A and B are shown apart, each in its own frame.
Chain A
Amino acid sequence: MKILINNKSGVPIYEQIYSQIKSYIISGEAQEDEALPSIRSLAKDLRISVITTKRAYDELEREGFIYTIAGKGCFVAAKNLELLREENLRKIEEYMLCIAELADTCKLTREDITEMYRVITEEE
């Protein structure tokens, strides 16, 4: 698993850990029930705060991406299809927002956009 921490990016460190572990899990690279590094060892390896690392893990657990066994550590949760769907829906919404903004600047109507979408999907 690759985790890169950039102190100068302005993105909160906990969010950097959270999103990188999450994309590792969502991308399918991670195996179900795979052990994740312990909070303390990850924090020390990355030279970041233990509390911040714990915050990222807590968030991942709350969202169902990982689970904890007391005394054993944290593991990758079974892929939850509902969760993935949610995640994808969220992404689609994000892209739609971009489309809406761009369409607005180009003065495209709603019909123009649906027409474009129809053409694209028909081509496929």
Chain B
Amino acid sequence: MNAIEVRNLNKLYKANKVSSGFELKDVSFDLPYGCIMGLIGENGAGKSTTIKLILDIIEKDSGTIRIFGKESPEELVLAKDDIGVVIDEPVFHDSMTGAQINKIMRSTYTNWDEAKFFELLERFGVEKGKRFKTLSKGMKMKMSIAVALSHKAKLLIMDEPTSGLDPVIRNDIVDIFNEFTRDPQNSVLISSHIVSDLEKLCDYVAFISRGQLLLCEEKDRLLERYAVVYCSADELAAISEKAVKGKKESPYGVEAVVERSAIPEGMQANPVSMEELFVLFAKEGKLK
């Protein structure tokens, strides 16, 4: 069973005087219950568009979106009670305090859990009496995350929740999402261009580049399939060209990302990072 199912999702922003336009083309993926999926893409790749379409903030041109197996507009509105949302920009009014946010959320979500909210604020070190505008960027983000986690949501959808934050807070946040999915009913869809955060956190990764889904795969299988080799140009030439996914050459040698299965015996295969893979895939377009 899947928490989110996206099929052939399309959205076209026509080019006009101020923008060259953008098209999200035929995006399809599944997020199974209990799993964390990371959307990885460069700036302007279509991550936020995808998330906004799923949240029904913008209207799709075509395609299907199913959340908790539901797809009719009436059912999807009700499903939102079970979705925790965190977006990149501050969402609360500048002059509001944590206590006031609590009051508003209490009448917004049917399952609002006040005790949980204040407990999270305390755990995150966010002062509930402080006005929103006086909080640091990291604290604002933690406020949003506390709200998302305080109404018994079963699905978290987050757009760049870790961007602009320092490594310590980012690590905290990654731990919180990890903890959230201890419950096999809970799922997370998270977008980021900080690939290392997603590499730590996700069960699945989806690469989006220039409006297209390049791949959607189990993270560890993806990392297992490829490896980095350091060798001479001649040695690399001995590896089947199809297996070489990308290379950096210098007069003294080559560094290449290759399919692990094609590496000859005796040549050292080094682990590849998600970041290296993404950069490569985004540069080359479609590799599969």
Contact = CB atoms under 8 A, between A and B. Distances in A.
Contacts of A51: 35, 203-204, 218, 220
A12 B181 contact: no
Interface in B186-239: 200, 202-204, 218-220, 223-224, 227
Interface residues of B, dominant DSSP: mixed
A52 B220 contact: yes
B98 interface: no
Contacts of A8: 271
A49 B36 CA distance: 9
Contacts of B227: 10
Interface in A38-92: 40-41, 44, 47-52
Interface of A: 7-10, 12-14, 40-41, 44, 47-52
Given A10-B269, A41-B182, A52-B218, 17 more contacts: A8-B271, A10-B227, A10-B270, A10-B271, A12-B223, A40-B34, A40-B181, A44-B178, A44-B179, A47-B175, A47-B178, A47-B200, A48-B220, A49-B218, A50-B35, A50-B203, A51-B204
27 contacts: A7-B271, A10-B227, A10-B269, A10-B270, A10-B271, A12-B220, A12-B223, A12-B224, A13-B220, A14-B224, A40-B34, A40-B181, A40-B182, A40-B184, A44-B179, A44-B181, A44-B182, A47-B175, A47-B200, A48-B220, A49-B202, A49-B218, A49-B219, A50-B35, A51-B35, A52-B203, A52-B220
